[in-house]
Homo-oligomer: A and B are copies of this chain.
Amino acid sequence: MNNIDKPGENCAVFGIYGHKEASKLTYLGLYSLQHRGQEGCGIVSSDGSEVFVHKGRGLVSDVFSSPGIFRHLKGYIAIGHNRYSTTGSNLPSNVQPFVVECRDGPLAISHNGNFVNTNFLRKLLVKEGSIFQTSTDSELLVHIIARSKEENLVLKLKECLAKIKGAYSIVMLVKDKLIAVRDPNGFRPLCIGKKRNCYIITSESCALDLLGAEYQRDVKPGELIVIDKNGLSSHQIFQPEKLTFCIFEFIYFSRPDSKIFGEYVDKTRRKLGKNLALEKPANADIVISVPDSSNTAALGYSHKSGIKFELGLIRNHYIGRTFIQPSQPLRDFNVKVKFNAVGGVIKNRRIVVVEDSIVRGTTLKMLARLIKNAGAKEIHIRVSSPPIRYPCYYGMDFPTEEELIASSLSVEEIRKFLNVDSLGYLSIQGLLDSVPKNDAGFCNACFSGDYPVPIEERLLKNQYEIFNHIHLSDKVR
């Protein structure tokens, strides 16, 4: 119920080394990264010899609800994870960090991203006698690490990750080390912060702000970072390939106050709005946003177009897990329960509605009707990203291709479906013009179908062979 018709978020990872309250700071870091995943979370800490684990399903503030948990999570190193299920369904055992004991001792891993050759690898491993207790990429990775004959963890990780294709921003903990690694394409963000002598690794920089830590730099694509008693050491285990940062992080996922891929999200998102105003102007009285994710783009649209920005939709933030409907459902209930139109703003106005993206379009259709019924004279939808036509295999949770409205309908057909006066999407070029140039490249496969890393066939067909026939109850006490 939390997000209506948006791509599923894609997990957060966090790690800290060198703080006597490492687990509490990890908890705060996870809390500030909650927008990236709300299904489950966990923290693993180490005091240099013993490893401590607590994880569960639900929000950070629910899973870590008592001070006693932090007395258990001893030590000066910790990693954490917020989960949004991408592969592997909503199972308790899939909540990360994933913890095992292997040749190198205890090992915990937090992963953001998605591997794209998992079935091939899983089948290979199973054939060689591995057993799988979950359907997560993390378990797969650990199996490969555990089998490596290389002499140290850096070499092992290099050997293993060479076998893996796809997107990953990973944070790992062994007894006395914090390790971070990012795939050579750099799909998912990952950055390094510092607070006095203490190192922090985080998906987004907003976690650093909460902790009063300084942003240092991004973990580089293909780079492996080891932090231990000797400080931070960097290993460029892969030469960065053609960089393909996930452009959707700028469009929707990341918090506007975060700096990712070297740039403030807020700044880029405002540019999306401005370029949208240039590309797809509208003859209207006011600009409104679909709160909260489209606020910044709407403001950019307003500033560039000169059309006044107004707060035309109120969002109810008290939504719970489930919601009980009347037997005779109220019209547009799913949208109304989340949004209401402000009559005094909307009435008799020609309105530009800025939305960051359209996935299925069903929610936006209801929202347009809500605005219409509040008295809008004209509705002009402006979308601060191009039409989404292709699924993502690198960590975003999209519906299947058939369900993506833009994969089968033209823009004009979508306009008719939404029943609005006009509809304009930002072009791919306009999108690319909005994001930072430096030497970064971006993945825009969901718009263009141009996948920078090839996907194994089974994944394309949405088939998982291993752990496909085991159905865990979701009511575990």
Q: Which residues of A contact B (CB under 8 A)?
A: 21, 24-25, 27-28, 31-32, 34-35, 38, 49-70, 72-73, 92-93, 99-103, 105-107, 126-127, 129-133, 142-143, 146-148, 175, 206, 209-212, 255-257, 259, 264, 266-267, 295-296, 299, 303, 308-311, 314, 316-328, 330-331, 336-337, 340-345, 466-467, 469-473, 475-477
Contacts and interface: CB of A to CB of B under 8 A. Distances in A.
B126 A256 contact: no
Nearest to A149: B129
A469 B326 contact: no
Nearest 4 pairs of A and B residues by beta carbon: A61-B320, A129-B147, A56-B477, A54-B473
A336 B68 CA distance: 24
Given A24-B326, A32-B316, A106-B469, 7 more contacts: A21-B327, A32-B340, A53-B471, A53-B473, A101-B131, A210-B330, A210-B336
A126 B103 contact: yes
A316 B31 contact: yes
A320 to B, nearest CB: 3
A342 B264 contact: yes
30 contacts: A31-B318, A49-B469, A50-B470, A52-B471, A56-B477, A60-B318, A69-B473, A72-B471, A72-B473, A93-B93, A99-B470, A99-B472, A101-B131, A101-B132, A101-B466, A102-B126, A102-B132, A129-B147, A209-B340, A209-B341, A210-B337, A256-B311, A256-B314, A257-B343, A266-B311, A266-B344, A267-B344, A295-B311, A309-B309, A317-B317
Contact of A323 (B61, B308, B309, B473): B61
The main secondary structure of chain A at its interface with chain B is mixed
Given A59-B320, A64-B324, A314-B257, A337 B131 contact: no
A34 B316 contact: yes
Nearest to A32: B316
Contacts of A32: 316, 340
A210 B107 CA distance: 45
A31 B337 contact: yes
Nearest to A212: B330
A342 B266 contact: yes
Contacts of A55: 473, 476
A212 B331 contact: yes
A122 to B, nearest CB: 9
Contact of A475 (B49, B54, B303, B316): B54
A129 B125 CA distance: 11
Contacts of A107: 131
Nearest to A59: B318
Contacts of A24: 324-327
Contacts of A93: 93
A466 B104 CA distance: 11
A465 to B, nearest CB: 9
Contacts of A211: 330
A206 B340 contact: yes
Nearest to A38: B318
A62 B345 contact: no
Contacts of A296: 311
